Amino acid sequence: MLNVAICGLRRGASFARIFPLFDECRLSAVCDTDETLLARFAVDLPDVQRFTCFDDLIDTRPDICVIASPVALHAEQSIAALQAGCHVLQEVFLAETLEQCRQLYEAVKAHPEQTFMLAENCCYWHFILEWKKMWQTGQLGDLIHGEAEYVHDVRSLMSDEQGRPTWRTALPPIHYLTHSLGPLLWISGARVNRAIALATPSRLQPGRHHYDSEVALFQTEEGATLKVLTAFRIARQPSFHYYSLYGTHGCLESQRPPDALRTNAFLSAQNGAEMVQWPLGRNDPQAPDGADSGGHGTAEFYMVRDFLDSICCGRPSPIGIDAALEMSVPGLCAHKSALDGGNPVDIPTYWRT
The pLDDT tens digits for 152-179 are 999 999 988 888 888 899 899 999 999 9
- Are the beta carbons of 231 and 184 closer than 8 angstroms? no
Please report which residue ranges of the chain form alpha helices under DSSP H. 9-18, 35-44, 54-58, 74-83, 98-110, 126-136, 178-188, 299-313, 321-339
Dist CA 352 CA 349 (whole Å): 6
| Tens digits of residue pLDDT in 238-262 | 999 999 999 999 999 999 999 999 9
Pair (37, 163) in one structural domain: no
- Tell me if residue 39 falls in helix, strand or coil: helix
CATH number for position 192: 3.30.360.10
Instruction: Look up residue 148 and give its amino acid.
Output: A
The model scores a pTM over 0.85: yes
Alpha carbon distances (Å) from 99 to 178, 335, 352: 18, 15, 17
CA dihedral (324, 329, 331, 335) in degrees, to 10, reads: 160
104 in any annotated domain = yes
Is residue 135 domain-shared with residue 222, that is, in the same domain? yes
Mean pLDDT for 194-205 is 95
- CA separation for the pair 297, 291 (Å, rounded): 8
Give the domain-ending residue among 79, 114, 149.
Answer: 114
Mean pLDDT, residues 213-238 taken together: 98
* 132 and 80 co-located in one domain: no
Full domain range(s) for residue 91: 2-114
Q: Is residue 78 part of a domain?
A: yes
Is residue 73's pLDDT more than 80?
A: yes
Q: Report how far residue 190's alpha carbon sits from residue 31's, in angstroms, rounded to the nearest whole number.
A: 37
| 114 Cβ contact partners less than 8 Å away, ≥ 6 residues apart | 82, 85, 86, 87, 88, 108
d(CA 22, CA 293): 13
Distance CA 288, CA 293 (A): 11
Average pLDDT value for the chain: 96
Confidence tier at 105 by pLDDT (50, 70, 90): very high
Q: How confident is the model at residue 207 (pLDDT cuts 50, 70, 90)?
A: confident
pLDDT at residue 271, as a whole number? 63
Tell whether 105 and 152 lie within a shared domain.
Answer: no
What are the two backbone dihedrals, phi and then psi, of residue 301, each rounded to the nearest 5 degrees?
A: -60, -50
> Which of 114, 133, 167 is where one domain is finished?
114
- Into how many domains does the chain fold? 2
Does the pLDDT value for residue 274 go beyond 90? no
* Domain co-membership, 143 together with 244: yes
Lowest-pLDDT range of 101-115, 150-164, 298-312, 318-332: 150-164
Tally of residues, the chain: 353
Neighbouring-strand partners of residue 195: 218, 345
- Among 114, 143, 165, residue at a domain's last position: 114
Same domain, 44 and 141: no
**Three-class SS state of 306:** helix
- The confidence band for 304, taking pLDDT boundaries of 50, 70 and 90, is very high
**Rounded to an integer, what distance in angstroms lies between the CA atom of residue 76 and that of residue 74?**
6
Assess if residue 34 is contained within a domain: yes
Name the residue among 175, 117, 69 with its Cα closest to residue 321.
117
3-state secondary structure of 341: coil
Per-residue confidence (pLDDT) for residue 47, from 0 to 100: 93
Average pLDDT over residues 273-279: 90
Domain identity same for 70 and 172? no
Average pLDDT over residues 127-131: 98
Which amino acid would we find at residue 329? V
| C-alpha to C-alpha distances, 65 to 6, 44, 151, 334, nearest whole angstrom | 6, 20, 30, 30
Q: Is residue 226 part of a domain?
A: yes
Same domain (yes/no): 135, 233: yes
Of the candidates 148, 158, 157, 155, which has an alpha carbon nearest to the alpha carbon of residue 120? Answer: 148
**Has residue 208 got a pLDDT over 80?**
no
Per-residue pLDDT tens digits for 6-37: 999 999 999 999 999 999 999 999 999 999 99
Here the CATH number for the domain that contains residue 101 is 3.40.50.720
